[in-house]
Amino acid sequence: MGGEPDRIPDTPLLDRERQLRGYRMNKMAMGLGDPANRAAFKADEPAYLDRFGLNEEEKAAVLSRDWKEMVRLGGNLFFILKISAVDPVRITEIGAHQAGMDHESFLRDRLGKKV
Amino acid sequence: MARIVGGLGTSHVPSIGAALDKGLRDTPEWKPFFDGYVPAQEWVREQRPDVAVVVFNDHFNALFLDRVPTFAVGCAAEYHPVDEGWGPRAIPPFEGAADFAWHLVDTLVDNHFDPEIIQEIKVDHGLQVPMELFWGRPPEAWPVKVVPIFVNVLQYPIPRPDRLYALGEVLGRAIADYDSDERFVVLGTGGLSHQLQGARAGFVNPDADRRFLQDIAHDPGKLAGWSREQYVETFGGEGAELIMWLVMRGALDPEVVVRHRHYFVPASMTGAGMIVLENA
């Protein structure tokens, strides 16, 4: 399973390619475990992103909270969740966004919740 | 010699800890989930384990991608909860069972498992939530010492399921050989089915989860023989972490008795399962 393409459709795994592709963005988000960094992120988000060398594509994805695009660029959910903690945004909203569904349909049709 | 009084399996979804923090224990959404753990908490109170070996994964809270140990054993005197981005949680630190942890490292290396040896690390929901579910959150100190075993289940290549089962067998021998009258439990954590990433996000598989809760007790060899791809396909991208239950199961005898079992879906985005096993 190492560096090979994903064998299971629509299921991105943290393989070698994604690890390298997403390293900067993931390192940026990892920093949000520190309260001082969370304050810096809230005060001036573009400046915080620049500290970690994100390119324009990555910055745009983070600034617009395009969760699907962050994952496409190698972002891993466990890092991205630290961004959602700052906002805050529910994990089910992030799931719905990636599935291309509205939140209510996602809860009902994917997770089997009565909504 | 030390004795293993049982094996516990549980999901470790962070929303479970958040629900407790927000006082949602008895809301209609969460009560059926938490009520299922009451018999397991009674079992823990009756068994009074001295040491809990907790097999879990850090979710990039204490460990980053700069170094990714496949297996690591905590040999520290104490483990504090890590800030996962939401601020610190109001739970006491965990006392480590350092002497056993070093004995475990010796035994693992003698048996061809070569873990990273960790002296300072914080622990995330992967360890916190199972402890809260089985012991309840104590006001001051946990009534049990912990030995964290960290498994990489996120950065591929993750270890093979059969390898985790074999690791559990060595863990069981390390407990049996340990010169102490302490009582041990082993916790396998994670799962059950869930997927957080990609267009298949929100995937859960309750039928497979329920089957897993049967097979982990009575047909673990089958589960140890599955490929990683089978786990990802059946339980979802993040649900594949379920392989960590195999360490717990490997530490027990081939024949076990199921004392308690519980299943609830969805806890946040996850099929949540629990089991209490004793050697037959």
Q: Which of B263, B32, B274, B14 is nearest to A91 (CA)?
A: B14
pLDDT at A4 over 60: no
| Mean pLDDT, rounded, of chain B | 97
Rounded CA gap, B96 and B165, in Å? 24
State the nearest Cα–Cα gap between B189 and chain A, in angstroms: 17
Average pLDDT of the residues in B6-26: 96
State the nearest Cα–Cα gap between B10 and chain A, in angstroms: 19
Flag if A113 and B266 touch (Cβ within 8 Å).
Answer: yes
Whether the CB-CB separation of B21 and B88 falls below 8 Å is answered with no
A94 interfacial to chain B (CB closer than 8 Å): yes
A16 interfacial to chain B (CB closer than 8 Å): yes
Average pLDDT of the residues in B208-237: 97
CATH number of A16-110: 1.10.700.10
pLDDT at A1 over 90: no
Rounded CA gap, A108 and A45, in Å? 34
Whether the CB-CB separation of B240 and B195 falls below 8 Å is answered with no
pLDDT tens figures, B145-174: 999 999 999 999 999 999 999 999 999 999
Q: Which residue has the tokens 């989860």?
A: B209
Q: What is the pLDDT of residue A7?
A: 81
Domain map (residue ranges) of chain A: 16-110
Stated length of chain B:
280
Residue of B61, B65, B196 with shortest CB distance to A77: B196
Residue B125 appears among annotated catalytic residues: yes
Q: Which residues of B touch A88 (CB under 8 A)?
A: 86
Tell me which of A80, A111, A113 to substitute to probe the interface with B (most B C-beta atoms closer than 10 Å).
A111
Which ipTM was obtained for this model?
A: 0.94
Q: What is the pLDDT of residue A3?
A: 43
Average pLDDT of the residues in B87-112: 97
Flag if A77 and B156 touch (Cβ within 8 Å).
Answer: no
Average pLDDT of the residues in B69-81: 98
Count the neighbouring beta carbons within 10 Å of the beta carbon of residue A67.
Answer: 25
Rounded CA gap, B272 and B30, in Å? 12
Secondary structure of residue B73 in the 3-state scheme: strand
State the nearest Cα–Cα gap between B116 and chain A, in angstroms: 21
Of the pLDDT bands very low, low, confident and very high (cuts 50, 70, 90), residue A6 is low
Which of the following is catalytic: B12, B59, B103, B194? B194
Helix (H) or strand (E) holding B260, with range, is: strand B256-267
Residue of chain B minimizing CA distance to A17: B156
pLDDT at A74 over 80: yes
Q: What is the pLDDT of residue A2?
A: 45
Rounded CA gap, B210 and B228, in Å? 19
Q: What is the pLDDT of residue A115?
A: 76
Structural domains of chain B in order of their starting residue, each with its CATH number:
3-279 (3.40.830.10)
Flag if A111 and B269 touch (Cβ within 8 Å).
Answer: yes
Sign of CA dihedral B163, B189, B213, B261: positive
Whether the CB-CB separation of A18 and A74 falls below 8 Å is answered with yes
Q: Which residues of B touch A86 (CB under 8 A)?
A: 85
Copy the structure tokens of residue B133. Answer: 């579910």
Rounded CA gap, B150 and B163, in Å? 14
Q: Which of B259, B255, B128, B250 is nearest to B186 (CA)?
A: B250
Rounded CA gap, A24 and B24, in Å? 36
Average pLDDT of the residues in B107-135: 98
pLDDT at B192 over 90: yes
Secondary structure of residue B12 in the 3-state scheme: coil
Average pLDDT of the residues in A13-35: 97
Q: What angle do CA B33, B9, B54 make, to 5 degrees?
A: 120
